[in-house]
Amino acid sequence: MAHFAQIDNDNIVRQVLVVSNNDAVSGHDFLTGILGLTGTWLQTSYNTRGGKHYTSNTYTKQVTSIASTVYSSEIGGLTTIYEPVYNTFTTPPSADGLSGFRYNYAGVGYSYDSTRDAFIPPKPAQYPSWIINESTCWWTPPVAYPDNGYITNVFGITGVRAYSWDEPSTSWLPNSAVPTLSANYYSQVTPYPDNGWGIGSLTGVKSYAWDSLDLQWEPISGMPALSAYYFRTLSANP
C-alpha cells in the first residue's frame, strides 16, 4: 500500500490517505482525477521517520509441540508422535540503511518543506528556541544534550536522562533543578516506602502520596492538598 498526504496552500498536511500500489505511481492523478479529491497530494513513506527508513523482519519459531497417539504398522501397535507448533514473530523496526523518503511519515498538522523535500512535525509551542535538525527534520534544542547526562536509576535501569531542557534559560539543567519537570518523573525514580501500604483496617492501600513540591513521598494524612475524592474512594457508600 502507498500513502499520500494532502497539503493546502500553506503546505500544511490536512489528511493522509492510502491507495493501492497499482495506483502509487500516479497517486496524485488517481486521487484528484478518479476520486475527484481536491488539493495537492504528495506521497509519504509509512516506514520513514527522522530521515531513516525502518523495516521489521518476520520469522517463524517452534514454540511447542502437540503429542498424538497413532497406530504404527512398523511396531504393530500404538505410538506417540510429536508435531511441532510454530508461531510467527515480527522484530521491532530497525533502520535498514535505505534513504528516508521525505524524512518523516506525514501526519495531520505537519508542514511540507519543498526546499528540504521533507515533512516536518509542528514546532512544540512550549519550546520557541528549538531549531530544525537537518539530519532528521525534527525540532531539537539548540544546545546538544550533555555527554555525561545519563545515569542508572534506583531500579538499575541504565541510560536514564539526568538532565531536562529548561526553556527560560535555553539550557540543559539537572532534573532536580527544573521546576516545570513532571513530578511523575521523580515518583518513578524514587522508591515507594516499604511500609507505605495500609490505612486503618484496610490493607494493600497506599498510605503515602507523591508531593510534587518537595519531590518525595509524604503520608497522606500530612497532605492537605490531596483531593478529597481519594478518601471518598476508601469508604463504602452508605
The yes-or-no verdict on residue 122 having pLDDT over 70 is yes
Q: From CA 65, how far away is CA 136, in angstroms rounded?
A: 46
Band the pLDDT of 225: cuts 50, 70, 90.
very low
Least confident of 33-47, 71-85, 105-119: 71-85
Q: Which pLDDT belongs to residue 132?
A: 96
- Report the pLDDT averaged over residues 220-229: 50
The mean per-residue pLDDT over the stretch 58-81 comes to 73
Question: Does residue 215 or residue 67 have the better pLDDT?
Answer: 67
Q: What percent of the chain is predicted at pLDDT more than 70?
A: 66
Q: How many CA atoms lie within 13 A of 174 on its CB side?
A: 4
| 186 pLDDT more than 80 | no
Least confident of 65-69, 79-83, 132-136, 222-226: 222-226
Residues 27-56: pLDDT tens digits?
777 787 777 787 789 999 988 999 988 887
Check residues 105 and 57 and name the one with the higher pLDDT: 105
Average pLDDT, the chain: 76
Lookup result for grid cell 525514580: 189
Q: Tell me the pTM.
A: 0.58
Helix/strand/coil for 177? helix
Query: Is pLDDT of 72 > 90?
Result: no
Residue 161: predicted pLDDT? 76
Where in the chain does DSSP place strands (E)?
2-7, 13-19, 40-44, 48-49, 52-55, 58-72, 77-90, 94-99, 111-113, 118-120, 131-132, 139-140, 150-151, 160-161, 163-166, 171-174, 197-199, 202-206, 208-211, 216-219
